[in-house]
Structure 1
Amino acid sequence: MNPTPLTLTWYGHACFGLRAGDHSLLIDPYRPGGFGGKMALPPIDDTFDAVVVTHEHDDHAALDALIHPAPRIETGQLGPFTIARTRVFHDEYGGRRRGGTTDILSVEVSGRRLVHLGDVGHSPRQGDLDALRAARRIDLLIVPVGGYFTIGSAQAWEWCRALSPRVVVPTHAADPRVDLNLRPIAHFLASSPLPVEEVGRSVECGEALLSFRNRVIVMGTSAHRSHALTPRHPAA
């Protein structure tokens, strides 16, 4: 039996939508115009069955800014989606520098598994890996790569190597619409041992993406990808 078609859409920053048939889930909605106008991202105008967030910061948990409000859920079952969490820190100092904890979200749907690392700010610990490896293999790993507020490229690759996902989706990086101190995705891609594929803002998570070779996909519009792939700062 063929699995339900699953589509991943990137809205900006660390916000993604998942659609499986008639069911939908939004992850980490940002606040348009947040941080004094630094988050110059458009409102999210799509509808969702529910919203799940990794942590309470305004660029990840702005449910009140959604045009079409949806209920927030924490863990458990929502239609075909099964949601679990692993608690980690926002930085290398037990959360004291960047604002406490953040969750890693694991979403299983129709025989596929997506993991969103939230704003993790440290290298993987054995307990984190044990928790994440207890379920089925990770098909898509959404990993922050912009540094400063989260891990940067070197630690992002530590997580990727440790978890061995089929597809890596870098996020939370420099964006012409977000005036935050973030490094471009290009710094992460420069040390990639995997082939890199540029895609649009939505991608179908089917056999063509998941069944052949492991890869990195860079999501977004052509203008965003052009910016993201051009370093603006010295590599760190």
Structure 2
Amino acid sequence: LEQILVERIPDVTAEKNRKLHFLARQHCMRRIRIQKNHRERERERERVRMASSSVTVGSNSQGLHNVFVYGSLLADDVVRVLLKRLPQSCPGTLNNYHRFSIKGRVYPAILPVENKKVTGKVLLGITVPELNILDAFEDVEYERSTVGVSLMDSSEKLQAYTYVWVDSNDPDLYGDWDFEEWRRVHMNDFIKMTMGFMEELELPESKTRVATYESFFEQSGDN
């Protein structure tokens, strides 16, 4: 019996060592998988952060800009006429601003007003030449400003350009402006006016957008 026990002790010890080695290897592999998953999650977070950073600023290193629009530029057809394309966009809200109607104009104005908000959308990836076109289109009536826009489909808040009415004491501003009414009543003529503006913009001595607007709507009798 003693001889049998002596012979079995090495077998038991070897089996125990094999189990310990197996468990150690399993533990090591588990740690490797955890570290790998951690690295992948970190890389994914970095990709998301980098993607977000190009959206959450008014401009980036590639010279692309975000522009919050709230009036006639909510209409895709108007944007297509101006930029020859339809940029990606996301819905957003500009807090502590109000969107006014303007006497003698079919488009709106916005000004800072506490506890008010303006719904619209952010045009993403606007190039410098496209921004210059938008500047010319908004003309002297508006000033391009940097604002914080709250995105409707997330908790994100981004910096973007928008066009604010220059004359904060303008007596021609009143009430609210309604996009759906504008689209139903004025959009078709406004698109024609915008086409005329783009044709003028290519001329050596082009008319301003305000002059183009006034001459067009005087002729159409829709001012």
Query: Structure 2 length normalisation: TM-score?
Result: 0.26
Q: Which protein has greater RCO, CA pairs closer than 8 Å, 6+ apart?
A: 2
Larger Rg: 2
